[in-house]
């Protein structure tokens, strides 16, 4: 009986060692497999300027699932958020007097879910691209009908829907990442765009 117990414990120990080795080998194979899969599918790393979006009404998707909607969906902006990273932004990284995609990577897009007015110009509901021409005291905000474009390399002025000038405001704090948010206003809402120590407010009315 003693001998049988010793044999059983020995056999179980060998089995446990074998299982441990099998699990280790399996883990190694899984790591290699997923590494190869990532290479084969060209899965990109996290972007230095991550994509983000803002809604009006603010936090609309959250309000929707909480059943707290008091206004219908009016607008959404999708943009990439470059970082200041110690650089001088306006007048250097973003050059004065030149077309800017209002972010990084793909040109910023705005979608209106109802007809609006910007700078006394009627804009039908739909998707548009936003650009800006930045100067020290004013920005020219451009709504353009060509969508799904990367950067501003193929910007075509003939496809502009409206251009409107807005005043530059100084901020009390330095904003590290380009940020956009909508805020409620009389007769509509404003799109706030802020980065570094600068912000502008684009009025949008119904």
Q: Which of 165, 178, 187 lies closest to 90 in space, CA to CA?
A: 178
Question: Six-digit token pair at 193?
Answer: 């765009």
Mean pLDDT of 136-151: 96
Least confident of 38-47, 84-93, 166-175: 38-47
Task: Please check whether residue 113 is in contact with residue 72, taking contact to mean a CB–CB distance below 8 angstroms.
Answer: yes
Mean pLDDT of 31-52: 69
Q: Does residue 100 have a pLDDT over 80? A: yes
Bigger pLDDT: 188 vs 29:
188
Write the CA distances from 196 to 19, 43, 84, 97, 175, integer angstroms: 57, 31, 7, 18, 5
Q: What is the pLDDT of residues 144-201, one digit of tens each?
A: 999 999 999 999 999 999 999 999 999 999 999 999 999 999 999 999 999 999 999 9
Q: Quick one: how many helices (H) and strands (E) in the chain?
A: 2, 11
- Supply the pTM of this predicted model: 0.78
Q: pLDDT value at position 46?
A: 83
Least confident of 34-43, 61-70, 91-100: 34-43
Residues 61 and 76: their CA atoms lie apart, in Å, by: 11
Q: Which of 142, 124, 145, 128 lies closest to 193 in space, CA to CA?
A: 142
Task: Please check whether residue 77 is in contact with residue 54, taking contact to mean a CB–CB distance below 8 angstroms.
Answer: yes
Mean pLDDT of 102-106: 95
Helix (H, G, I), strand (E, B) or coil at 202: strand
Q: pLDDT value at position 33?
A: 47
Q: pLDDT value at position 111?
A: 98
Q: Which positions ≥6 away from 67 have C-beta within 8 Å?
A: none
Q: Does residue 110 have a pLDDT over 90? A: yes
Q: pLDDT value at position 47?
A: 83
Q: What is the pLDDT of residues 2-26, one digit of tens each?
A: 444 444 444 444 444 444 444 444 4
| Average pLDDT of the chain, as a whole number | 86
Task: Please check whether residue 107 is in contact with residue 145, taking contact to mean a CB–CB distance below 8 angstroms.
Answer: no
Residues 146 and 131: their CA atoms lie apart, in Å, by: 11
Burial classification of residue 119, based on how many CB atoms lie within 10 Å of its CB (0-12 exposed, 13-18 middle, 19 or more buried): middle
| Helix (H) / strand (E) containing 14 | helix 2-40
Q: Can you say how many angstroms the Cα of residue 49 is from the centroid of all Cα atoms in its chain?
A: 8
């Amino acid at each position: 009986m003693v001998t049988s117990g010793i044999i059983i414990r020995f056999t179980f120990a060998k089995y446990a060692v074998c299982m441990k080795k099998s699990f280790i080998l399996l883990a190694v194979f899984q790591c290699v497999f997923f590494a190869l899969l990532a290479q084969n599918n060209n899965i990109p790393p996290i972007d230095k300027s991550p994509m983000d979006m803002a809604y009006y009404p603010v936090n609309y998707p959250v309000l929707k699932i909480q059943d707290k909607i008091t206004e219908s969906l009016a607008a959404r902006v999708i943009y990439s958020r470059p970082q200041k990273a110690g650089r001088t932004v306006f007048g250097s990284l973003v050059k004065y007097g030149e077309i800017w995609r209002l972010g990084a990577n793909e040109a910023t897009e705005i979608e209106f879910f109802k007809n609006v007015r910007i700078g006394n110009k009627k804009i039908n509901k739909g998707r548009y691209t936003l650009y800006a021409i930045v100067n020290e005291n004013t920005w020219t905000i451009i709504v353009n009908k060509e969508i799904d474009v990367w950067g501003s390399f193929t910007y075509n002025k003939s496809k502009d829907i409206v251009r409107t000038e807005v005043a530059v405001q100084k901020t009390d704090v330095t904003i590290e990442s380009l940020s956009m948010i909508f805020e409620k206003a009389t007769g509509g809402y404003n799109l706030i765009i802020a980065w570094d120590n600068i912000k502008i407010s684009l009025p949008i009315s119904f």
